[in-house]
Amino acid sequence: MKKLSLVAMLLCSAALLSGCNKANSSNNSDTAEIVAIPVEAALARRGEISSSYHTNATLAARAETDVISKTSGIVQQVLVEEGDYVVAGQLLAQLDNERQRYMLAKEQAELSRLDSELKRMAEMYQRKLISTDVYEKLRWQYDATSASVALAELNVRETEIRAPIAGVVSRRYVKTGQLISQMAPQSLYHLVANAELEAVVHIPEQQLAQAKAGQAAILNFAGMLPVNANVSRISPVVDAQSGTVRTTLIIDNSTGELRPGMFAQVELKFDVKSAALLVPKRAVITTDNQHSVFVVDTESKVSRKSVNLGYSSDTAVEILAGITEGEQVVIAGQGALKEQSLVTIVTTRQF
């Protein structure tokens, strides 16, 4: 009898334990069904976006030149240094011009003598006291001497080394006391016109239909704010080897912050939409070239909607169809979601 009582007690205990386990399992299952998945979201909004092309370029001066001497002489004075801004025609250096000034004075004196003589002869010629041949020979002599004076003045001016363009002195090679040879290939100065810079980019042939002169571009430099530029000209020829088109950008550098040779990341803006429907790029899920987003409804459940994409930028993408303005799209946590998953929005991001 004792053995039967013990067996009965064990069976009752097993039945009770089994019932408790089933109850706990049921409770755990109910709890799992109501757990909300934490996600981050953003609101689809209207904003500006552009069709753009990204590439790299190096800045170059629109104009630069080497300054050489047109005459021989010894450098008497150096007037500008590297880094100085000069205007066109500004005196950069002065050569010794004593000999040239003496020659100019001699020719001017001869011209003055002939001028006085020509005036006297003109009066006599009008009264027909001298022949036409004598008068015309004197006039020709006066004209020849006038040309000699002009040539002597030119020789004096050529001893003044002047800037052919406005810009910045990037290199100074000339030194005081140096003997300069006429038309020598050695440069005295190197000038760079950096009030406007240019950058050459090569855009793919496929983008040629969208590219036009006057379009905007944005240049990004390390450690600097973005700089605006404009497309100046587009080559009419496609490079057969690379399949690209040479495109020149013009950059305003009136502030002088930029330097020729700087490296820039370039964004060419082909077309701009001011009121496009935008979502963050992170919201878009692409599978087999099909695009979709998870949209959160008023009951905090998600549904996956297919979308058609338009222009895109670094952070946002244009939605042509599939969702409407103001809908909440999931931008983080999509990996754990499926249709009608319950979610809790941890953060609503701005973009």
In the chain, where the domains are located: 37-50+275-349, 53-62+194-272, 69-95+162-187, 97-158
Q: Which CATH architecture group holds 69-95+162-187?
A: Beta Barrel (2.40)
Q: Which residues contact 297 (CB under 8 A, 6 or more apart)?
A: 303
The class that CATH gives domain 53-62+194-272 is mainly beta
CA distances from 166 to 60, 69, 70, 196 (A): 16, 18, 19, 11
User: What is the sign, positive or negative, of the torsion defined by CA atoms of 297, 300, 303, 308?
Assistant: positive
Q: Mean pLDDT, to the nearest integer, of 127-154?
A: 92
Q: Who has greater pLDDT, 182 or 160?
A: 160
Please give the Cα distance from 64 to 209 (Å, whole number): 33
Mean pLDDT of the chain: 87
Give the per-residue pLDDT at 32.
Answer: 46
Neighbours of 141 (CB within 10 A): 14
Between 219 and 314, name the one with better pLDDT: 219
Q: Which CATH class is domain 97-158?
A: mainly alpha
DSSP element (H, E) containing 111? helix 98-126
pLDDT for residue 335 is more than 80:
yes
pLDDT at 51: 84
> Each residue of 305-332: pLDDT tens digit?
999 999 888 889 999 999 999 999 999 9
Asked whether the beta carbons of 120 and 114 are under 8 A apart, the reply is: no
What top-level class would CATH report for the domain 37-50+275-349?
mainly beta
Residue pLDDT, tens place only, 71-113? 999 999 999 999 999 999 999 999 999 999 999 999 999 999 9
Rounded distance between C-alpha atoms, residue 49 and residue 312, angstroms: 7
Q: How far from 282 is each of 23, 153, 321, 335, CA to CA, in Å? A: 42, 73, 17, 12
Provide mean pLDDT across the span 153-178: 94
Confidence of residue 129 (pLDDT cuts 50, 70, 90): confident
